[in-house]
């Protein structure tokens, strides 16, 4: 069938005369939708589960709120994100307050959140359990990571509020038990930004001087919302990574936070933390006195037992007369025998001397002296023949250098140039006209001349 002319689509847009609804641009339509939605939903509260949470480098947070049947995009600007009382996580059920708006760039609507809280205590506990399981899976709560506390810490660091009763209770308890130096790092223990300051204080204690030997993170009791900063992940990680042993004393005995699992020891109350941190000084003095008393008793018993053993040993010893009487008797016997032995020995020696003296007759001595004199004369004549000046009487000459060395080769004479000629009746200095360099010759050292000595048995001169 044929359509009316005004409903047919043509090639060109047809603007009818008197038309009061001209075509809108995309920007105009998006702006109109934005104004309509913002005017109709100026302030809304939405309950839903966080999904796809992402914190941008700019500080803005983007995520989706969803339930069983629908979802809506959400954004928290940086200024509002810094004021949240908890750290948003996927799976947390929350109630968000803000205004509805559109994002023309992607043709979608979203909620700009100004304030966001967990949707009741059940949602808070569910988030807490989820976070606990995630941190436990990383091993932050393992018992093998926990360290023993120092027996007597010299410096104790305390992270708590400086104005509450907690710090006064801790200091008072420490003074009663064992006075110790305490360094307090003041922090807010609840509210916005408390978790970041608590984590920063725990980490900073390991960098100051004097470095504490023990840390106590303490807070009084309160609701789960009040204690929530001690459940934040950054606080738990700071406690687990602390190089200083740490005691968690947050809330009352029935209160449990995640920092309790990461700490090296959990105290039921802040006062109990002070009791666990140091021993009682009076008890230490009593123990020292007891140990001193026991040491003295042990020493006394040891001395008594030593004296008893000594007495028993002395009783078994024989009398001194019985020990030394045989020795004294033998000494007397030796004293009586000694003169007789000496006389007999002298008599024997005298006989031996007489026997040897008979052999030493004069003729034997004269024969031996004559034989030795003859041998000495032969040696003297041999020495005269070997003397270097002996051939001089037969016309020979001995040549020496200026330093007295005997020259036996022509090359030595050429090297010396000046020399001395020794004759039987004197010495003459001479020089070498034909002085040619001669190659060095290795010479053996001559033994020094020793003039002949008179015989031992030569007759002495008158």
The pair of structure tokens assigned to 435 is 């002085």
Q: What is the dihedral of CA 142, 144, 150, 156, to 10 degrees?
A: -20
Mean pLDDT over each residue of the chain, to the nearest integer: 82
d(CA 300, CA 320): 31
Residue 47 vs residues 120, 124, 197, 277, 325: alpha-carbon distances, Å: 11, 14, 30, 45, 117
pLDDT score for 460: 44
Residue 418 vs residues 70, 421, 422, 446: alpha-carbon distances, Å: 133, 10, 14, 21
pLDDT score for 461: 42
Is 98 inside a domain boundary? yes
Is the pLDDT assigned to residue 428 strictly greater than 80? yes
Which of 98, 118, 138 terminates a domain? The answer is 118
Give the whole-number percent of the chain exceeding pLDDT 90. Answer: 28
Identify whether the C-beta of residue 78 lies closer than 8 Å to the C-beta of residue 60: yes
Tell me: do 252 and 169 sit in the same domain: yes
pLDDT score for 249: 93
d(CA 433, CA 435): 6
Is the pLDDT assigned to residue 321 strictly greater than 70? yes
Contacts of residue 12, defined as CB under 8 A and 6 or more positions apart, other chains included, come to: none
Write out pLDDT tens, residues 253-304. 888 899 999 999 999 999 999 999 999 888 888 888 889 989 999 999 999 9
* Residues of the domain holding 78: 28-118
Q: What is the three-class DSSP state of 80?
A: helix
pLDDT band at 457 (very low <50, low <70, confident <90, very high): very low
pLDDT band at 138 (very low <50, low <70, confident <90, very high): very high
- Interstrand relation of 108-118 and 155-160 (parallel, antiparallel or unpaired): unpaired
pLDDT band at 12 (very low <50, low <70, confident <90, very high): low
Tell me: do 98 and 199 sit in the same domain: no
Tell me: do 36 and 111 sit in the same domain: yes
Write out pLDDT tens, residues 332-350. 888 888 888 888 888 888 8
The answer to whether the peptide bond before residue 210 is cis (omega within 30 degrees of 0) is yes
Is 444 inside a domain boundary? yes
Tell me: do 288 and 255 sit in the same domain: no
The pair of structure tokens assigned to 363 is 């003729």
Tell me: do 275 and 295 sit in the same domain: no
* Extended beta strands in 308-407, E state: 398-401
Identify whether the C-beta of residue 303 lies closer than 8 Å to the C-beta of residue 249: no
Tell me: do 388 and 294 sit in the same domain: no
Tell me: do 310 and 234 sit in the same domain: no
Tell me: do 387 and 422 sit in the same domain: yes
Is 213 inside a domain boundary? yes
Tell me: do 303 and 269 sit in the same domain: no
Estimate the crossing angle of helix 233-241 against helix 120-137, to 10 degrees. Answer: 30
Which of 93, 118, 143 terminates a domain? The answer is 118
Is 130 inside a domain boundary? no
**DSSP structural state of residue 357:** H
Write out pLDDT tens, residues 173-221. 999 898 899 999 999 998 878 999 999 999 999 899 999 999 999 998 8
91: domain CATH number?
Answer: 2.40.50.140
pLDDT score for 359: 64
Using alpha carbons only, what angle is made at residue 211 by residues 230 and 143, rounded to the nearest 5 degrees? 50
d(CA 77, CA 112): 8
pLDDT score for 444: 53
Is 421 inside a domain boundary? yes
Identify whether the C-beta of residue 149 lies closer than 8 Å to the C-beta of residue 277: yes
Is 369 inside a domain boundary? no
> How many of the other CB atoms lie within 10 Å of CB of 299?
10
Residue 337 vs residues 8, 332, 340, 378: alpha-carbon distances, Å: 168, 9, 5, 59
Tell me: do 306 and 263 sit in the same domain: no
d(CA 91, CA 128): 11
Is 374 inside a domain boundary? no
Which phi and psi angles does 21 have, rounded to 5°? Answer: -125, 75
Identify whether the C-beta of residue 249 lies closer than 8 Å to the C-beta of residue 270: yes
- Number of folded domains that form the chain: 4
- Helices vs. strands in the chain: H and E counts, helices first: 12, 13
Is 123 inside a domain boundary? no
Which of 266, 295, 329 terminates a domain? The answer is 329
pLDDT (mean) for 365-386: 82
Tell me: do 271 and 288 sit in the same domain: no
Estimate the crossing angle of helix 165-177 against helix 270-277, to 10 degrees. Answer: 30
> How many of the other CB atoms lie within 10 Å of CB of 372?
13
pLDDT score for 456: 45
d(CA 196, CA 176): 33
Tell me: do 297 and 248 sit in the same domain: no
244: domain CATH number?
Answer: 3.40.50.261
């Amino acid at each position: 069938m044929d359509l009316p002319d005004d409903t047919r689509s043509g090639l060109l847009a047809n603007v009818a005369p008197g038309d009061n609804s001209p075509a809108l641009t995309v920007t105009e339509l998006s702006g109109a939708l934005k104004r309509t939605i913002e005017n109709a939903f100026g302030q809304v509260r939405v309950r839903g589960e966080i999904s796809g949470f992402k914190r941008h480098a700019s500080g803005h947070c983007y995520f989706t709120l969803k339930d069983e049947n629908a979802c809506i995009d959400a954004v928290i600007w940086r200024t509002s994100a810094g004021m949240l009382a908890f750290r948003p996580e996927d799976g947390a059920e929350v109630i968000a307050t803000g205004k509805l708006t559109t994002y023309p760039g992607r043709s979608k609507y979203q909620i700009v959140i100004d304030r966001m809280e967990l949707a009741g205590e059940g949602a808070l506990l569910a988030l807490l359990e989820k976070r606990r399981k995630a941190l436990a899976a990383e091993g932050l709560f393992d018992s093998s990571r926990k360290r023993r506390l120092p027996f007597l810490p010299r410096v104790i660091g305390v992270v708590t509020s400086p104005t509450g009763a907690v710090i006064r209770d801790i200091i008072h308890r420490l003074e009663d038990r064992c006075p110790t130096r305490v360094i307090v790092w003041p922090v807010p223990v609840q509210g916005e930004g408390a978790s970041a300051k608590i984590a920063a204080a725990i980490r900073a204690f390991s960098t100051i001087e004097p470095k504490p030997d023990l840390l106590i993170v303490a807070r009084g009791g309160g609701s789960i919302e009040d204690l929530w900063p001690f459940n934040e992940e950054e606080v738990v990680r700071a406690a687990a990574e602390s190089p200083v042993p740490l005691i968690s004393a947050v809330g009352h005995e029935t209160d449990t936070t995640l920092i309790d699992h990461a700490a090296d020891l959990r105290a039921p109350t802040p006062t109990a933390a002070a009791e666990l941190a140091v021993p009682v000084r009076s008890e230490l003095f009593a123990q020292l006195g007891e140990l001193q008393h026991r040491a003295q008793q042990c020493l006394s018993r040891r001395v008594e037992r030593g004296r008893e053993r000594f007495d028993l040993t002395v009783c078994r010893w024989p009398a001194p007369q019985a020990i030394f009487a045989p020795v004294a008797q033998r000494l007397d016997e030796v004293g009586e025998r000694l003169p007789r032995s000496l006389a007999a020995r002298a008599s024997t020696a005298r006989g031996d001397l007489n026997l040897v003296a008979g052999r030493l007759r004069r003729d034997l001595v004269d024969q031996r002296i004559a034989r030795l004199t003859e041998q000495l004369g032969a040696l003297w004549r041999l020495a005269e023949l070997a003397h270097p000046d002996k051939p001089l009487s037969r016309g020979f000459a001995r040549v020496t250098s200026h330093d007295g060395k005997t020259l036996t080769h022509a090359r030595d004479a050429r090297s010396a140039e000046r020399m001395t000629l020794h004759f039987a009746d004197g010495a003459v200095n001479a020089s070498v006209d034909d002085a040619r360099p001669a190659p060095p010759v290795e010479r053996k050292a001559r033994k020094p001349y020793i003039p002949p000595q008179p015989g031992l048995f030569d007759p002495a001169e008158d």
